[in-house]
Chain A
Amino acid sequence: MIIALDLRGVAVRRGGRSLFCGLSLSLTAGEACALTGANGAGKTSLLRAVAGLVPLEDGEIGFGDVEAGEARGGGLHLIGHQDGLKPARTTREELDFWSVWSGGDKASALAAAESLDLIGLLDLEVRRLSAGQRRRLALARLLAAPRGLWLLDEPLSPLDASWRARFGAMMQAHLAGGGLILAAVHDPLPITARTLEIGA
Chain B
Amino acid sequence: MSRLGALLARETALAWGKGGGPLVSVGFYAGVATLLPLAIGPEPARLAAIAPGAAWVGLALASLLSLDRLFERDYEDGALDHLVLSPTPLELTCAVKCFAQWLATGAPLALAAPVAAIALGAPLNLAPLVFVCALIGGLAFAFTGGIGAALSLGARRGGLLTAVIVLPLFVPPVIFGGGALASYLAGLPWTSGLVLLGAYAAAFVALGPLFMAAACRNALS
A-side interface residues toward B, CB under 8 Å? 48, 51-55, 72-74, 76-78, 80-86, 88-89, 93, 96-98, 100-103, 105, 141
Contact = CB atoms under 8 A, between A and B. Distances in A.
A82 B78 contact: yes
A86 B86 contact: no
A111 B178 CA distance: 55
A142 to B, nearest CB: 12
Contacts of A54: 220-221
Closest 4 CB pairs of A and B: A82-B78, A84-B79, A74-B87, A100-B6
A82 B77 contact: yes
B175 interface: no
A101 B221 contact: no
Contacts of A73: 85-88
B83 interface: yes
Contacts of B220: 53-54
Contacts of A55: 221
Contacts of B76: 82
18 contacts: A53-B221, A54-B220, A72-B85, A73-B85, A78-B81, A80-B78, A81-B78, A84-B81, A84-B82, A86-B14, A88-B18, A93-B13, A96-B6, A97-B9, A97-B10, A101-B3, A101-B7, A101-B82
Contacts of A76: 85
A116 B142 CA distance: 39
Contacts of B85: 51-53, 72-74, 76-78
Contacts of A51: 81, 85
A116 to B, nearest CB: 17
Summarize A's interface: helix, strand, loop or mixed: loop
A101 B3 CA distance: 5
Interface in B9-41: 9-10, 13-14, 17-18
Interface of B: 2-3, 6-7, 9-10, 13-14, 17-18, 73-74, 76-88, 220-221
Contacts of B74: 84
A103 B85 CA distance: 11
A72 B85 CA distance: 6
A103 to B, nearest CB: 7
Contacts of B73: 86
A88 B17 CA distance: 8
B142 to A, nearest CB: 21
B13 A89 contact: yes
Contacts of A81: 78
Given A73-B85, A74-B85, A100 B3 contact: yes
Contacts of B82: 78, 84, 98, 101-102, 141
A187 B3 CA distance: 36
Given A53-B221, A73-B86, A101-B7, A86 B77 contact: yes
Contacts of B84: 53
B6 A97 contact: yes
